[in-house]
Amino acid sequence: MSKKYESCLVSRLSRFVSLTDQECAFIAQMEKDEHPRRKSRSVVSVGDRTEGIMVLKSGWAVVKADSSDGRSQILRVYLPGEVMGLAEIGSSHASHRVVMQTDGIICPFPRSGLAPLYIDYPRLGALLTAVGSLDQIALRYHASSLGSMDAAGKLKFWLLQLRSRLEVANVGLGNRFQVPFSQVEIGQAVGLTSIYVNKLLRRFVENVEIEIERPYVRLLKRDEWEKDCEFVNAFVDMDTSWFPPAVGAETTVTPDLARSA
């Protein structure tokens, strides 16, 4: 990949198809308007008018739901190279808060800019739609884990899914990956108290199931965990057979989802 196309979004999408120069150039336009954001800063507040989508060019962000008693729930984690707002594109106002989990850069892209995407770059539009679909499937698996698994299973599943999503973005290959969350925040993501999260993490370490070198975690028994949790990686089963032809013959990035982690 040439330097001018260095992009987490390009890297993420190229896991599924070979992107053309023209498609990469359009993505560059999506990422042109850069806005640095500091950790803990709100990107979107409840009730804000939604003007379009945002590419998370770098850093992590989370979607939060806040209750009247002051408690918060993390509904979704956004990773580098992911597009924020696709699931809400049909709504004129934000229903949840989006907060930066780490320092990062967001790139707003207006709704008006999406029409040329589907008209001039239909394959890229189909790819973004398909990736959004896989994201929703992954969220359903996560929701199912919260309702059907015990506490240990919930935490294991969350870590497994986080690892698999980082792999797609090429920012978390292998079994060692970053987890920039406090134990309170992990609890908000999996429906457990911070005390219980601490207890489980200590148990996993004592049982030689994980290693923790903050902010990194290494899964030492990933295969065993995946079997126990009946883990399904939603991002290895994209159907691209219905995609329209690519615009431009020259490709710059080759899909590599089949590469082993």
Average pLDDT, the chain: 90
Q: What percent of the chain has pLDDT over 70?
A: 90
By C-alpha distance, which of 157, 151, 152 is closest to 139? 157
Q: By three-state DSSP, how is residue 137 classified? A: helix
Residue 261 reports pLDDT greater than 80:
no
The arithmetic mean of pLDDT across residues 9-28, rounded, is 94
**5-9, 129-133, 170-174: range with highest mean pLDDT:** 129-133
The rounded radius of gyration (Å) of the Cα atoms in the chain is: 19
pLDDT band, very low/low/confident/very high, at 260 (cuts 50, 70, 90): very low
Residue 2 reports pLDDT greater than 50:
no
Residue 136 reports pLDDT greater than 60:
yes
Which domains occur in the chain, in start order?
3-239 (2.60.120.10)
By C-alpha distance, which of 225, 230, 188, 167 is closest to 77? 188
Residue 190 reports pLDDT greater than 70:
yes
Question: Read out DSSP for 52-95?
Answer: EEEEEEES-EEEEEE-TTS-EEEEEEE-TTPEETSTTTT-SB-S
Residue 44, CB half-sphere, CA atoms under 13 Å: how many? 27
